[in-house]
Chains A and B, each alone.
Chain A
Amino acid sequence: MIAALHRAAALLAPTLLAAACASFSAVSPGDSAPTVEARVGAPGAVWKNADGSEVWEYPQGFYAVQTFMVAFGSDHVVREVHEVLNETYFSRIQPGMSREDVRRLIGKPREIWYFPARDEETWTWRYRDINYRLFNVLFDRSGGTVRSTLRLDEVLLLDGGRAKH
């Protein structure tokens, strides 16, 4: 029964994922704010700029490998749509940047861990290069600034990582 459910979920998952991605290709420059909301829903976060323009952030969830940013001009019309979980954006992250700088660039992380012994806070995003990978930004926890970045390749085990001992 459980196995059957898993199989059904496995079959459904690609359809759902495809639907989620396709909806962002339906947002184009020139679209109005209400059109965007109608097509892809309310954003996870909104970043307001001094000139009246805005960026709407759409993380796709814990296991997802994409985060979309929809940039609006001060006329409330879409200027551009970009997917930010890739090297184009990761490579812009430099030591000394603030948590907000990072968040605005690549969106909400899937997880935040902190390591008291080295006063470090680690933000993690899952993305897809060739394999599934994790992109980590390591912050100085007290200072709130970027120390370094780290890329980790997920190791896939045939038994799903659950050893039978």
Chain B
Amino acid sequence: MNTASSRLLLLLIPALLAGCAGFSAINTGASAQQVETLVGKPANVWKNADGSEVWEYPRGPLGAETYMVTLGPDRGVREVRQVLSDEYISKLHVGMTRDEARRLLGRPRDIGFSDLNDEEIWSWRYREWGVRNMELYVQFDRRTGALKKVTRFQVDTGDGMRK
């Protein structure tokens, strides 16, 4: 490796680490201001009746994580959750609204449609156990807006031939 590219790598590594370390650097009790300094502005803010808020940070389409930062009515951080995991995905259920799914898992990576079944399909990519690339499809009835079906698949990035 030549010196120029190793210098570039040395410059890149901290930049990449900063991207990952951002959310783990948010401590319970941190202020809203500190959260913004560490990870920037959220893609969306959910306001609860009790004055608390949930800030949504999807890292897709390149990343496979979505973080939810909960702030108490005092504007201090209560908790930070990475929601694209089995723990949260398993909470999806038939009959749920789009809004409930959005609050649970954050913004989908993509939204598709099926004219045949009059469905709207939300999809997310995530990593399972830190090793498997997964695809999640959540199908909603377009007319009623109710969740009909949840399916998960492991993505085979090869040519289909098993090693």
Contact = CB atoms under 8 A, between A and B. Distances in A.
Interface in A116-137: 116-118, 122, 129-130, 133-135
Q: Size band of the B side of the interface? A: 20 to 34
Contact of A87 (B91, B155, B160): B160
Given A152-B135, A152-B155, A113 B93 contact: no
B74 interface: no
Given A87-B161, A163-B92, A113 B113 contact: yes
Interface string A8-27: 00000000000000000000
Interface stretch (B12-20, B34-42, B49-57, B145-153): B145-153
A46 B162 CA distance: 33
Contacts of B152: 155, 157, 161
A135 to B, nearest CB: 8
A155 B90 contact: no
B154 A155 contact: yes
A163 B90 CA distance: 6
A45 B160 CA distance: 27
Contacts of B151: 154-155, 161
Interface string B129-163: 00000110000000000000111111110111110
Nearest to A134: B153
A152 B150 contact: no
Interface string A79-119: 00000000100110000000000000000000111111110
Residue of A118, A134, A155, A165 with most partner-chain B CB within 10 A: A155
A113 B160 contact: no
A87 B158 CA distance: 12
Contact of B112 (A114, A130, A157): A114
Interface string B53-96: 00000000000000000000000000000000000001111100
B76 to A, nearest CB: 28
B128 to A, nearest CB: 9
Contact of A113 (B91, B114, B150): B114
Residue of A130, A134, A151, A154 with most partner-chain B CB within 10 A: A151
A149 to B, nearest CB: 8
Interface of A: 87, 90-91, 111-118, 122, 129-130, 133-135, 150-155, 157, 161-165
9 contacts: A111-B116, A114-B113, A117-B110, A152-B155, A152-B156, A155-B152, A161-B151, A161-B152, A162-B94
Given A113-B112, A129-B162, A135-B160, 10 more contacts: A87-B161, A112-B114, A115-B113, A116-B113, A151-B156, A151-B160, A152-B153, A155-B153, A162-B93, A165-B93
